[in-house]
Chains A and B, each alone.
Chain A
Amino acid sequence: MEPVYGILILIALMIYGVPVAWSFAGVLAYLVWAYDTNTTTLFLQGFRGLNSVILLALPLFILAGYLMESGGIARRLITFMEASVKGRRNGLGSALVMSSAVFGAISGTATAAVASIGTIMVDPLAERGYPRPYTSALLGISSLLGILIPPSITLILFGVVTRQSITALFAATVVPAIVLIIGLIIYNKIACKTFLREFDEAQAAKSDDHKPTQTDAERDGFWKSAFKAIPALLMPLVILGGIYGGFATPTEAASIAVVLSIAVGFFIYRNLTPKRLITSIVKAGETTGTIIMILLFSLMIGRIMVAESVPQDLTKFVTSLTENKILILLIVNAFLTFVGMIMDDVSVTVVIAPLFMSLMVSVGVDPVHFASIVACSVVIGANSPPMAPILYMACKIGKASIHESVKPALQLIFFVALPVMLIVTYVPSLSLFLPRLLGVY
């Protein structure tokens, strides 16, 4: 029963407003007491977990994300994506999705994408008839493409706690990401018909000649913005080409990403200044710290759980309910979605996912496939209230009320993200095809 009490304590502390990292430390204290754990080497185990070359990719990719934002790389990419829909209003939503996807290929987190894309695109979209709550919700979900498209902080964390190859994990979620992109674009095409018509009718009734502000994309047009985006578009080629072409490990590729984004930001786009560089480094350090603190306590909790055979007990419990693989996966899907509502993406990845690993292996689910399932569930979790950090951030930047954004967010989850998670769960080859094709798994 201790793990169940542990989870209840965790939820209670978090809902009471204790910071997530400290809530984990609180649960750790409970588990140490409940299991009478020897604490001689407990903190040392947390240290061992952090002291990892593979984990080095995390601060580096976070730093790269901040630098791409402050160095103007993000803006060039977004402008280019917007220009490529040639001013079609129903295409603007697709451009937002595509921007998130391309941005995802250079950044490891969702937050960087929300900040850059939100700042640049939400206002122009609002002027052209996209309701802010809808745009914020769409931004919230699409920004999570950043964790499905490599590089990905979530998958680095998953790889560190479950000892899987980062290179293989990175390749696993590419096809699921494409499925999600297609789903979001189709959904947007359908959804925008209604609100764009309503917007036009309202405009006609007002009959003023208010023209929306010209965007960078409209000013530059397709070719010019494409030309400007070339250095930015080369970044994912270098990063991913480095990893899959055998020039660099993910950690090394991350350092290349940092150096390149500084070079491009300073010398090509000239948006980066020494002051902005310093601000980016400090902000990245703080973001890294908040993630690491959750990871540190989770690692120690994980050690106690393992020593007390909790994953094995969980496996026994679930397989005693049913041995049907499809049903078990459905249980796991439901559970991941549920904890995703009340926990943030990092916590789900580093605490919940490893608990299920032995169950997954015992019913014959490939660990790399499971990583893909977890990543898809994180897309849902990060946008499903009450604990929806990405959605809230998107609302803040999109100047939309959280209250009004919940409905479009849940619609996007129900009609797109959830079906994508189910497809990814029940069609393993979607996740395993690319790693095998690239020969990295």
Chain B
Amino acid sequence: MQKLQKIDDFLFVVFNVMIILTSVFMTGLVFFLVLSRYFFGSSMIGTLEMATICALWLYMLGCMVASRNNEHLTVDFLEQSIVRPKLKAYYEISKSIIVFGISLFVLYLASEMLAWALKRPQTTPALGIPLLWQQASMLIATVFFVTYGFRDVIRAFGLLKTNEGSE
């Protein structure tokens, strides 16, 4: 368990560093586009393409961190209204299983995208960068969605155990 915790901490740092890097590059590239237009008269083809590649990674890293921290927008009044610990545990178990199931479906969709990308590879229009470089962000993200979904299921069952101990 402690080892998993360490891996998670490490990954969290990696995600945050990557969020910072992609944000800086994305902003820098778009800003450079504006500057180059005024100082060099012409804008470099492909600047926006690189900026959107950074953006896509940023989007997915943001999604992953939000999933890790369970910070996705949620309507929580049902959760708030359940006070009995045991009922709450059952509620959390059911909810986490639903999310986990849905995340498996999303993983399936992502695998279809990967299969298609391997069957018919594509490149970006201006720079000819393989599209898979961008799509990889979404593929990785969905793997983490499933992982965090599974983690939440385990946690929810843990809730049941601690309650049984206390009762």
In the assembled complex, the Cα of A236 lies from the Cα of B61 at a distance in Å of 30
Binary contact track B55-66/A, C-beta < 8 Å → 1, others 0 = 110111111111
Contact across chains for B30 and A18 when beta carbons are under 8 A apart:
no
Binary contact track A229-266/B, C-beta < 8 Å → 1, others 0 = 00000000000000000011001101110110000000
Q: Say yes or no for A336: interface residue by CB 8 A criterion.
A: no
Given A42-B109, A47-B134, A51-B52, also A290-B72 (CB < 8 A): yes
Contact across chains for A258 and B63 when beta carbons are under 8 A apart:
no
Q: Say yes or no for B159: interface residue by CB 8 A criterion.
A: no
Contacts of A387 in B (CB 8 A): 75
Contacts of B61 in A (CB 8 A): 285, 289
Contact across chains for B138 and A289 when beta carbons are under 8 A apart:
no
Contacts of A281 in B (CB 8 A): 19-20, 23-24
Q: Which of B26, B70, B72, B135: most chain A CB closer than 10 A?
A: B72
Contact across chains for B72 and A22 when beta carbons are under 8 A apart:
yes
Contact across chains for A258 and B59 when beta carbons are under 8 A apart:
no
> What size tier do the contact residues of chain B reach?
35 or more
Q: Nearest Cβ distance between residue B134 and chain A, in whole angstroms?
A: 7
Contacts of B109 in A (CB 8 A): 39, 42-43, 300
In the assembled complex, the Cα of A278 lies from the Cα of B21 at a distance in Å of 10
Q: Which residue of B lies closest to A387 (CB)?
A: B75
With A17-B74, A47-B135, A247-B34 known, 10 other A-B pairs at CB within 8 A are: A15-B75, A39-B112, A41-B112, A50-B56, A55-B55, A252-B30, A255-B27, A281-B19, A281-B23, A344-B73
Contact across chains for B72 and A21 when beta carbons are under 8 A apart:
yes
Question: Pick the contact of B95 from A17, A56, A252 — CB < 8 Å?
Answer: A17
Contact across chains for B105 and A51 when beta carbons are under 8 A apart:
no
Q: Nearest Cβ distance between residue B104 and chain A, in whole angstroms?
A: 9
Question: Pick the contact of B23 from A14, A51, A55, A63 — CB < 8 Å?
Answer: A63
Q: Which residue of B lies closest to A290 (CB)?
A: B66
Q: Say yes or no for B113: interface residue by CB 8 A criterion.
A: yes
Q: Nearest Cβ distance between residue B53 and chain A, in whole angstroms?
A: 8
Contacts of B102 in A (CB 8 A): 18, 22, 25-26, 29
Given A47-B135, A289-B63, A293-B63, also A259-B27 (CB < 8 A): yes
Given A20-B73, A21-B72, A289-B59, also A255-B116 (CB < 8 A): no
Please name 7 pairs of A and B residues whose Cβ atoms are closer than 8 Å in the assembled complex, sorted by A.
Answer: A16-B78, A43-B110, A44-B117, A60-B27, A254-B30, A287-B62, A293-B72
In the assembled complex, the Cα of A41 lies from the Cα of B24 at a distance in Å of 31
Q: Say yes or no for A284: interface residue by CB 8 A criterion.
A: yes
Contacts of B55 in A (CB 8 A): 55-56, 59
Residues 23-77 of B at the A interface (beta carbon under 8 Å): 23-24, 26-27, 30-31, 33-34, 48, 51-52, 55-56, 58-66, 69-77
Q: Say yes or no for A213: interface residue by CB 8 A criterion.
A: no
Contacts of A419 in B (CB 8 A): none
What is A's interface to B at a CB cutoff of 8 Å?
13-22, 25-26, 28-29, 32, 39-44, 46-47, 50-53, 55-56, 59-60, 63, 247-248, 251-252, 254-256, 258-259, 278, 281-282, 284-290, 292-294, 296, 300, 344, 346, 386-387, 389
In the assembled complex, the Cα of A378 lies from the Cα of B76 at a distance in Å of 20
Contact across chains for A59 and B23 when beta carbons are under 8 A apart:
yes
Main secondary structure of the interface of A (DSSP, over half): helix
Contacts of B112 in A (CB 8 A): 39-43
Q: Which residue of A lies closest to B49 (CB)?
A: A53
Q: Say yes or no for B98: interface residue by CB 8 A criterion.
A: yes
In the assembled complex, the Cα of A39 lies from the Cα of B111 at a distance in Å of 10
Q: Say yes or no for B167: interface residue by CB 8 A criterion.
A: no
Contacts of A32 in B (CB 8 A): 105
In the assembled complex, the Cα of A254 lies from the Cα of B23 at a distance in Å of 13
Contacts of B113 in A (CB 8 A): 41, 43-44, 47
Contacts of B106 in A (CB 8 A): 25
Contacts of B72 in A (CB 8 A): 19-22, 290, 293
In the assembled complex, the Cα of A132 lies from the Cα of B121 at a distance in Å of 58
Contact across chains for B76 and A17 when beta carbons are under 8 A apart:
yes
Given A53-B52, A255-B34, A344-B73, also A60-B26 (CB < 8 A): yes
Question: Pick the contact of B71 from A17, A26, A42, A290 — CB < 8 Å?
Answer: A290
In the assembled complex, the Cα of A203 lies from the Cα of B99 at a distance in Å of 53
Contact across chains for A248 and B34 when beta carbons are under 8 A apart:
yes
Contacts of A290 in B (CB 8 A): 62-63, 66, 71-73
Contact across chains for A258 and B27 when beta carbons are under 8 A apart:
yes
Q: Nearest Cβ distance between residue A248 and chain B, in whole angstroms?
A: 6
In the assembled complex, the Cα of A296 lies from the Cα of B115 at a distance in Å of 19
In the assembled complex, the Cα of A20 lies from the Cα of B34 at a distance in Å of 36
Contact across chains for A25 and B105 when beta carbons are under 8 A apart:
yes
Contact across chains for B34 and A286 when beta carbons are under 8 A apart:
no
Q: Say yes or no for B16: interface residue by CB 8 A criterion.
A: yes
**4 closest Cβ pairs, A-B complex:** A289-B62, A19-B72, A255-B30, A285-B19
Contacts of B75 in A (CB 8 A): 14-15, 17, 20, 386-387
Contact across chains for A278 and B20 when beta carbons are under 8 A apart:
yes
Q: Which residue of A lies closest to B34 (CB)?
A: A252
Contacts of A284 in B (CB 8 A): 23
